[in-house]
Amino acid sequence: MGVTRSESGEHSTATGDPAAGGPAPYDPRPRLRLRFFASLVLIGLLLGLLIGRLVDPGPVRLEAVQALPEGLQLRFDREPALHQEYLDGAFGMLVQAEGRDQQGELRIDDMPVRWRIQPSERGLLVNLVAVRALRVQWHGEERDGGWWMVLEVSPGTP
């Protein structure tokens, strides 16, 4: 019968049997395991980035501006974040959105009111300027697949 000892190098346990006194064989499994788990982590990261790009709606966009007899109407693709400020004879609002530079003039109770929308680094600046103090009230609502903001302008104090 065959002997399990390494005698002539003809047996399968001849070169890699530590029990027979030979060197330990090279085992590629730990390295393959590391590559397998690293590839799983990389695939998970790439899928997460892909899903994040698909779910992210992007910046809010100003779609239309319309002058009304009582003020200004702005249409956005969805509701933006905003910050407003009053100065003597002026009203300023920073809207977290993207859009193009636009300007015009309104007549409120025979008082000329100039308006301007201009892009900046932090969003759109909506400015209303008149000779006298302005009172601006705004309200917004979601309708027709967009978000509408109406700025109602009247003379007076804020």
User: What pLDDT, on a 0 to 100 scale, did the predictor assign at position 6?
Assistant: 54
CA–CA separation, 134 vs 71, rounded Å?
A: 11
User: What pLDDT, on a 0 to 100 scale, did the predictor assign at position 143?
Assistant: 87
User: What stretch of H or E contains 115?
Assistant: strand 111-120
Write out residues in the chain with pLDDT < 50, as ranges: 14
> Taking phi first (over 0 means left), then psi (-120 to 50 degrees means alpha), and beta for anything else, what does residue 63 get?
alpha
- Cα of 112 vs its chain's centroid, Å: 38
User: What pLDDT, on a 0 to 100 scale, did the predictor assign at position 58?
Assistant: 84
CA–CA separation, 150 vs 68, rounded Å?
A: 9
User: What stretch of H or E contains 52?
Assistant: helix 29-55
User: What pLDDT, on a 0 to 100 scale, did the predictor assign at position 144?
Assistant: 85
